[in-house]
A and B are shown apart, each in its own frame.
Chain A
């Protein structure tokens, strides 16, 4: 069964303190791995799609990487406005469904 596990559940960082969020997945053939950002009371906002192991994508202070079993979202020198819940999702080759993890709640303290 396709499955996505995110860790940690919650992360508190000082402003400027770099860290990484983890997304481990089990899927029968990966069609795509997706990262989203969700602010309280709002819909998730698309960040990146990764399709194959070794692929990397960057956007401002965020960098997403992908291996055959997991993806990392690296946050470099975070700012308070990076505080949000970060969601990971996968789509397999055998179906048309997305499977989301439960997210990592990131708080960046000034």
Chain B
């Protein structure tokens, strides 16, 4: 089954304790992205990657890191989490754009992170 898999689904951690949220896709997609979703603010892009070793900042990159060493994986790293990073996080992937066209995202099921 074609899918984007995130782990963990739920995570409670303490301020300052480094954590990694994993994301893996099995569709051979070039394009991957991380979003956070907060009430009243909608989905905001954190980082995205056009292909292996190519990443760029989205709208809210502060406090996050990413890496794209393999095509299928795109982990999100919080080096020193703070309470304002409590949110619902989604990883998404998409096939390569053709010309000016871009195909829709396939989203993961989400990771609900609480930082206390």
**Footprint of B on A, CB under 8 Å?**
31-32, 34, 36, 41-49, 51, 87, 89, 91, 93, 96-98, 100-103
Contact = CB atoms under 8 A, between A and B. Distances in A.
Contact size range, B: 20 to 34
15 contacts: A31-B100, A32-B101, A36-B104, A42-B110, A43-B108, A44-B105, A46-B106, A51-B100, A96-B50, A97-B48, A97-B58, A98-B33, A101-B42, A102-B41, A103-B42
B109 interface: yes
A109 to B, nearest CB: 23
Contact of A93 (B33, B92, B100, B105): B100
Interface of B: 4, 33, 35, 40-45, 48, 50, 56, 58-59, 90, 92, 100-110
B contacts with A: majority SS: strand
A47 B35 CA distance: 18
A contacts with B: majority SS: strand
A87 B43 contact: yes
A5 to B, nearest CB: 10
